[in-house]
Amino acid sequence: MEHKVTIKEVAELAGVSKSTVSRYLNSGYVSEEKKERVRAAIQETGFKSNFFAKRLKTKESKLIGIVLPRMDSVTVGKLLMGINRILDPSGYQVLVLVSQLSQEKELRAIHSLQQQGVDGILVDSVGLTAEHEKLVREIPLPVVFTGQKHDGLTCIKVDDYGAGHRMGAYLRQMGHRHAVFAGVSESDRAVGVDRKRGFLDGFCPHDQDDAQVDFVHTGFDFLSAYDAAAEMCSHHPTVIVGATDNISLGILRYLHERGIRVPEQVSVTGFGGYEVGAVVYPALTTVAFDFELIGMRAAQALLDRLKNKEPDVCRLEPSHLIERESVRNLHRPYVSAEQKGLTL
């Protein structure tokens, strides 16, 4: 069997540490004298036949690093499908790290992927900061973000403000004047700030003050929304708006268990357009996003950057309203499915 040369063997032959060889292979700082010794050791050992030597010769690894906030998410699955549609035909493979909804872990993951020699990095961010901008400027790789927006960074995301405004205006047209908005922390600017602000502007026009919105904090997961639903109901709204479909599904479960009829007694809406929203009863009215398209756009933007083409600094993708059964039109008398002669 052919012997596979290791970094340790190269380091021993060159008289340097393994970390020095690693920095050399990943274009980190190494003194000129040590560079020559490492280069000579690679030549002598045949290490140039492996993955890292190929990268040194071609200046590319054909690897793309991806940082995800979580794995148990419908949106993440769609996003990855879109990314793969673009990267796979171009011959790229991916390395995936998970930030677990932590900005600090997200930053560490970006740095780690750069150290592992990827050609570029895609980040589905939980929140962009000045630290992100500083890190991106320091590493010699293109980085594209989805999910969030920050000046000076390349971002592909949904138009959260526009989506919130669309839902707010729709519910107002349906006669609703008292809503509970079940939202997440403002550390997530896209969902926690922009989407909520858009909803407020759509539901409470500046020239009219007859509407009321109460806010209840929840997490992104089904269970935290379920646990917070009692507080939502205590405000006695005509409609509860989940910041995501997942939040809305937790609310629907709570209402169902307590015999609170949707939409006869209270309406419920969400954001996302998940397929499961179409099969629950009543089917969930929502603003839908094309997360697969966003993944495709982000991957293409990264490939453009790798070819020294400059994509738009920030691109906002549109959304569309899907009107289903979970919202009551308060301008008309309520007619149940049974009264309509439907069999459930």
The predicted model gives 320-330 an average pLDDT of: 97
Mean pLDDT within 97-108: 94
Helix axes 32-45, 18-25, angle to 10 degrees: 90
Give the range among 5-14, 63-72, 238-247 with minimum mean pLDDT.
5-14
Per-residue pLDDT band at 343 (split at 50, 70, 90): very low
Residue 59: its pLDDT value, please? 64
Lowest mean pLDDT among 4-18, 43-57, 192-206: 43-57
Q: What would the two tokens of residue 102 be?
A: 């932590």
CA 10 to chain centre: 40
4 class by beta-carbon count within 10 Å (0-12 exposed, 13-18 middle, 19+ buried) = exposed
Taking the C-alpha atoms of 280, 282, 287 and 291 in order, what is their torsion angle to the nearest 10 degrees? 10
266 — pLDDT class (breaks 50, 70, 90): very high
- Which residues have CB under 8 Å from 235's CB, separation 6+? 178, 180, 214, 216
Give the per-residue pLDDT at 292. Answer: 95
The amino acid that residue 61 corresponds to is S
d(CA 241, CA 218): 12
Would you state the pLDDT for residue 120? 95
Q: How does pLDDT run across 111-124, given as a tens digit for each residue? A: 999 988 899 999 99
Distance CA 318, CA 60 (A): 34
Q: What value does the mean pLDDT of the chain take?
A: 90
- Most confident range (mean pLDDT) of 31-35, 41-45, 244-248 is 244-248
Beta-ladder partners of 146: 124, 156
Q: Which helix (H) or strand (E) holds 11?
A: helix 7-14
Q: Copy the structure tokens of residue 265.
A: 């007694």
Q: How confident is the model at residue 189 (pLDDT cuts 50, 70, 90)?
A: very high
- The pLDDT confidence band at residue 49, using thresholds 50, 70 and 90, is very low
pTM equals 0.78
Give whole-number Cα distances, 137 to 37, 143, 214, 220, 297, in Å: 30, 10, 41, 31, 22
For the cut 80, the answer to whether the pLDDT of residue 51 exceeds it is no
pLDDT of residue 162 exceeding 70, the answer is: yes
